[in-house]
Amino acid sequence: MTLFDMTGKVAVITGSTRGIGLAIAERMAEHGAKVVISSRKADVCDQVAKEINAKYGAGKAASVATNISSKENLQHLVEESNRIFGKIDVLVCNAASNPYYGPLAGISDDQFRKILDNNIVANNWLISMVVPQMIARKDGSVVIVSSIGGLKGSTILGAYAISKAADMQLARNLACEYGPHNVRVNCIAPGLIKTDFAKALWDNPDNLKASTSRTPMLRIGIPDEIAGAAVFLGSAAGNFMTGQTMVIDGGATIS
């Protein structure tokens, strides 16, 4: 258990009341970490934290409602996490936005800016707020949840795919900047996962069949199949990995 043990670590996970973020929070708590649950709705955050505490032990989870589009909200998330648990060892930037499906010619300026601001700029804000304490301790792990959309062209996910490709480069740049301080920055790039966020891509049986029929595993993924990679990156098991993108897609990008 020691290689993947997260006992004594504090992990902040954005967008962690459902889907991939929730799965990551639950698995990190299972592996010993204290976790901060964060999304826009305070009541939902509180409920998820309550359920994790009931399952894994009192004091294992706390909730801090946060809108990632607000720099002030993100600063509050960091300050409250530090106040409650005393530190942040692992940061998972999972929350993201995608208000538009379709060709880039049809996207509005506001939609494009929202995607870039929430999926790239907000990540850089939050990482910049958390990293100084990691540098001071000479230890820390940052995980950005990207997407295989950032590795392929798309006729319907253009702006989102651009933002996810940029997240991979953000991780590479920050890995170079923070590596000398023993702070690691990596990405996870999931394929199609059965989440509410990606519902437009799998809810239609024809769309789902078209997507999965071209993959070696012939199926859609589930959130828990992404969580293990986050535990790896947040624990001693991932201590020598930085600047990388872990692709977890059932083979979609190799077929």
Catalytic option among 56, 100, 160, 178: 160
**Cα distance between residue 9 and residue 32, in whole Å:** 8
**Cα distance between residue 16 and residue 63, in whole Å:** 10
Q: Is 160 a catalytic residue?
A: yes
A 10 A CB-CB count for 185 gives 27
Residue 82 burial (10 A CB sphere; 0-12, 13-18, 19+):
middle
End-to-end CA distance of the chain: 35
3-state helix, strand, coil in the chain (%, to 5): 55, 15, 30
Which H or E run includes 144?
A: strand 140-145
Q: Any residues with CB less than 8 A from the CB of 166 and at least 6 apart, and which?
A: 116, 119, 120, 150
* Residues noted as catalytic: 160
